[in-house]
Amino acid sequence: MRRFVRQAALAAMLVILFSCTAPALAAVDIPYDSYTYNYREYIEFTPAPYVPAGAISGMTLGVGSFKNPQDIAIAPDGMIYVADTDNDRIVVVNAEMTEAVAVIETFDNDGERDRFNRPFGVTVSEKNLLYVADANNNRVVVLDGEKAVQIIDNPQSEMLPDDYIFSPLKVAVDYADRAYVVAQNMHQGIMVFSAAGDFQSFFGTIEVRTTLWQRFWRRFSTKEQRERQILFITREFTGVDVDPQGFVYASYIDTQGEQAVFRLNPKGEDVIKTGENGNLGGDLLYRPSQAGALYGASYMVDVIIRDKGIYSLLDSKRGRIFTYDNEGNLLYIFGGLGTQAGTFRAPCSLADAGDKILVLDTDRQEILIFSETEYGRLINEAVGLRYDGDEKLAVDIWRQVLALNENLELANVGIGKAYLSEGDNREAMTYLRLGMNRTYYSIAFKRYRNDLLKDNLGYILTAAVVAALALYIWNTVKHKGAGKGDLLTDD
Amino acid sequence: MTRYFSRDKVYYFRRVLTNPADAFYEIRHREQGSIPLALITVFIFCLCYTFNNILSGFVVNLTDPRTVNGLVDLQSIFVIYMLFCIGNWSITCLMEGEGRLRDIMTVTGYAILPLIITTIPAIIISNVLAANEEVFYSIIIGFGVAWTALLILIGIMTVHNYTLLKTVITLFLTLVAMLLIIFLALLLYDLLNQVFIFFQSVYTELILRG
């Protein structure tokens, strides 16, 4: 008995302790807001999907501080490669992010020791070959360990101007060892190189689009005015990544804030899906003019493909990370500029390390680590299940998401769609309406309406016949009465 | 009271719908109309308008419920109604129109009736519509708008004893007059405001100096 009392007292104490600390835990200082946009394009704050989990820099790794690092990449074996641009080296960090396993400053190029000159971009192929966009040496170096197995340089094509200087900034490689290179001052598109290293074509080329209105104004503006207007140039690509199926995701600067990423099929056509609002451009609400320091649409500097068709975009203007699923639905937004730990000054590159997201900050010269919270994990998992076609399994997870964030339209739509495929149209309607999804609501509603009609057709027809009969009888009676009245007055 | 709300006056709405030209003629010359009834019609239309924003089916209703405000709807519709009537009256006075202000108000109010009797079924039907069927809803609403427009045209024409062309011209001029009234009202408001501020600052000055 005494033991029981002691245990009870202990339990009570624990309960009190946790009830005191739980709000404190919930309010742990996350130095940024996490939010999403709802159907009406209002900002809706959400629990944080990712929270800061420290940072690694050249100092913590013991290799001397990074200097203007520009790109990070993660190898299939989990190693992290950092393009330490102004130090002319590539730093390789182990998967646990505790130490630098290697620092590649020189490499064996056909028997000679060779060096990088401002390596901007770095990526690792499925065959674990390291591709380095060696910008000032005008080449892409393919390394196996410390030995160069291929050098991609001096692209030859009649599509390129004669005095073209190849200066690669970002590089990505697909399963067939084709290299996709974003090069400086190359506005015609992403340069595609074959496995042999020959320049093949441009990717993501799009003709300049001007509206009639813009052309009308240009006609009436003076030369000075025209010079001050925005230049109508084609996309400026900023980041590139290739998914396992060979689709190329490329982020670019979209000043209109409508779409900042392409998903290019092997023919080079954009096949990306957009969600209900048709927007893939990051923030929907922003200061439109030059009224403040931060104005204009999001400035996407990198894209990474994550598991199950999810991809993330990095906005360097406001330091936010936007995550979309394969259907183009906005999942969550987090991150922010600042000087606190866990905020950015000049984020430039993203990497996905399983349940962590790494962001390279040029100015802070460190890699910031963000680890998944339960909220983020549940969303990722549910979207993944839907991607695999297990919508039924996703329902439970969406319900847990709703418990954390009741207003999330995404979760309501997820549950609604699952009910719809199950055939429970009534429930599907409820959830799809909460999720503001008119298309799927209509499908559910149509089916529900048909069922209702089918079940009750007998009653409806009976009621119609009875009503018609009643009307007929009433009319006859009334006319008789009216006739009598007429007769009486005539008399 | 019976002058305004008699049973015959209420039943007279039916005649407006079925036989508008005659009905409006009798409103002008045989005192068949009633201004309170016209105002009630406008009021009911305000209700219908707000209910349409709130209650019409999810598939057709794109209105953000947070922006719906019945009082604002009421005010704005009545302001537009009065602006139209006064604008029309001030124009037709100069263009040999025979109608009095009360005739214009009655006729315009009565002419809104079709909008009411189409909005209510439209709200009901919109609740059983799915995607791709919204067109039924818009047809009903569009029908009501067209009917009302026609009734206003006939009403103004009959009340003033105008030809069709002259009616169309006066309706256009009415629009101009409405804009002018708004402009003058804003101007007046601004000027009065300045006068008020002047006296206020004189008062403040006196208080502080004295």
A441: nearest CB among B58, B64, B132: B58
Residue A206's SS3 state is coil
Question: Cβ contacts (< 8 Å) between B128 and chain A: which residues?
Answer: 449
**Given an 8 Å threshold on Cβ–Cβ distance, is A445 in contact with B64?**
no
Round to whole Å and give the CA distance between A97 and A371. 13
Q: What is the pLDDT of residues B120-163, one digit of tens each?
A: 999 999 999 888 888 999 999 999 999 999 999 999 999 999 99
Check residue A24 and give its pLDDT.
42
**Mean pLDDT of the region A47-57:** 92
**Mean pLDDT of the region A212-226:** 79
Residue A275's SS3 state is coil
Residue A37 forms contact with B (CB below 8 Å): no
**Mean pLDDT of the region A23-46:** 80
B130: nearest CB among A40, A433, A445: A445
- Domain total of chain A: 1
Q: Which residue has the higher pLDDT, A295 or A324?
A: A324
Round to whole Å and give the CA distance between A200 and A178. 10
The minimum CA-CA distance between A332 and chain B, rounded to whole Å, is 23
Check residue A21 and give its pLDDT.
47
Check residue A155 and give its pLDDT.
86
Question: Cβ contacts (< 8 Å) between A439 and chain B: which residues?
Answer: 131
- Domain total of chain B: 1
Best A43, A433, A440, A442 residue to mutate vs chain B (most B CBs within 10 Å): A442
The minimum CA-CA distance between A276 and chain B, rounded to whole Å, is 14
Question: Cβ contacts (< 8 Å) between A442 and chain B: which residues?
Answer: 59, 130-132
Highest mean pLDDT, choosing among A29-33, A145-149, B163-167: B163-167
B131: nearest CB among A40, A438, A449: A438
Check residue A491 and give its pLDDT.
42
Question: Is residue A61 a part of any domain in this protein?
Answer: yes
Check residue A187 and give its pLDDT.
79
Report the percent of chain A where pLDDT is more than 90: 46
**Mean pLDDT of the region A313-325:** 93
**Mean pLDDT of the region A353-365:** 92
Q: Poorest-confidence range of A171-175, A220-224, A276-280, A306-310?
A: A220-224
The average confidence (pLDDT) of chain B is 93
Q: Poorest-confidence range of A170-174, A252-256, A422-426, B11-15?
A: A252-256
Could you give phi then psi for residue A348, rounded to 5 degrees?
-135, -20
Check residue A10 and give its pLDDT.
63
Please report the residues numbered 305 through 364 in chain A whose beta carbons come closer than 8 angstroms to any beta carbon of chain B.
Answer: none
The pLDDT confidence band at residue A297, using thresholds 50, 70 and 90, is confident
Take residue B165 and report the two structure tokens written for it: 């062309």
Check residue A292 and give its pLDDT.
61
Check residue A201 and give its pLDDT.
86
The minimum CA-CA distance between B85 and chain A, rounded to whole Å, is 37
Check residue A14 and give its pLDDT.
58
Check residue A411 and give its pLDDT.
92
ipTM of this complex: 0.80
Residue A445 forms contact with B (CB below 8 Å): yes
Whether the model clears a pTM of 0.95, i.e. scores above it, the answer is no
Question: Is residue A401 a part of any domain in this protein?
Answer: no
Q: Tell me which residues of chain B have a C-beta less than 8 Å from any C-beta of chain A.
A: 58-59, 64, 128, 130-132
Cβ atoms of residues A81 and A92 within 8 Å: yes
The pLDDT confidence band at residue A489, using thresholds 50, 70 and 90, is very low
Edge-to-edge strand ranges of the sheet holding A71-74: A71-74, A80-84, A89-93, A100-104
Domain that holds residue A69: 47-205+231-372
Question: Is residue A100 a part of any domain in this protein?
Answer: yes
Report the percent of chain B where pLDDT is more than 70: 99
Q: Which residue is associated with the tokens 């256009």?
A: B172
**Which among B121, B122, B83 has a CA at the least distance from the CA of B104?**
B83
**Which among B109, B146, B136 has a CA at the least distance from the CA of B12?**
B109
Q: CA A312, A315, A320, A323: dihedral to nearest 10 degrees?
A: -20
Residue type, A429: M
Domain that holds residue B54: 2-209
Check residue A22 and give its pLDDT.
46
A439: nearest CB among B64, B128, B131: B131
Best A38, A39, A40, A407 residue to mutate vs chain B (most B CBs within 10 Å): A40
Round to whole Å and give the CA distance between A318 and A386. 31
The minimum CA-CA distance between A449 and chain B, rounded to whole Å, is 8
Quick check: B1 pLDDT over 70?
Answer: no
**Mean pLDDT of the region A300-306:** 93
CATH code (residue A74): 2.120.10.30
**Given an 8 Å threshold on Cβ–Cβ distance, is B130 in contact with A442?**
yes
Quick check: A389 pLDDT over 90?
Answer: no
Question: Is residue A188 a part of any domain in this protein?
Answer: yes
The pLDDT confidence band at residue A121, using thresholds 50, 70 and 90, is very high
What is the DSSP code (8-state) at residue A184? T
Contacts of A486 (CB under 8 A, 6+ apart): none
Neighbours of B186 (CB within 10 A): 10
Q: What is the pLDDT of residues A332-356, one digit of tens each?
A: 999 999 998 899 999 999 999 888 9
Quick check: A28 pLDDT over 80?
Answer: no
**Given an 8 Å threshold on Cβ–Cβ distance, is A446 in contact with B130?**
yes
Residue A282's SS3 state is coil
**Given an 8 Å threshold on Cβ–Cβ distance, is A442 in contact with B64?**
no
Check residue A231 and give its pLDDT.
58
**Given an 8 Å threshold on Cβ–Cβ distance, is A40 in contact with B64?**
yes
The minimum CA-CA distance between A128 and chain B, rounded to whole Å, is 50
Contacts of A410 (CB under 8 A, 6+ apart): A36, A329, A331, A379, A401, A435
The average confidence (pLDDT) of chain A is 86
Round to whole Å and give the CA distance between B207 and A294. 46
The minimum CA-CA distance between B52 and chain A, rounded to whole Å, is 18
Convert A318-375 into a string of H (helix), E (strand) and C (coil). Answer: CCEEEEECCCCCEEEEECCECCCCCCECCEEEEEEECCEEEEEECCCCEEEEEEECHH
Q: Please, what's the b/e burial string for B126-142 (b: 16 or more CB within 10 A of its CB; e: otherwise)? A: beebbeebbeebeebbe
Question: Cβ contacts (< 8 Å) between A431 and chain B: which residues?
Answer: none
Check residue A202 and give its pLDDT.
87
Q: What is the pLDDT of residues B64-79, one digit of tens each?
A: 888 999 999 999 999 9
**Given an 8 Å threshold on Cβ–Cβ distance, is A443 in contact with B130?**
yes
The minimum CA-CA distance between A440 and chain B, rounded to whole Å, is 9
Round to whole Å and give the CA distance between A345 and A69. 13
Residue A377 forms contact with B (CB below 8 Å): no
**Given an 8 Å threshold on Cβ–Cβ distance, is A442 in contact with B132?**
yes
Question: Is residue A315 a part of any domain in this protein?
Answer: yes
Residue type, A372: E
Give how far Cα A243 sits from Cα of A58, A172, B8, Å. Answer: 29, 10, 77
Contacts of A346 (CB under 8 A, 6+ apart): A316, A361, A362, A363, A364
Q: Poorest-confidence range of A37-46, B81-90, B171-180?
A: A37-46
Q: Please, what's the b/e burial string for B72-96 (b: 16 or more CB within 10 A of its CB; e: otherwise)? A: ebbeebeeebebbbbbbbbbbeeee
Check residue B156 and give its pLDDT.
95
The minimum CA-CA distance between A99 and chain B, rounded to whole Å, is 54
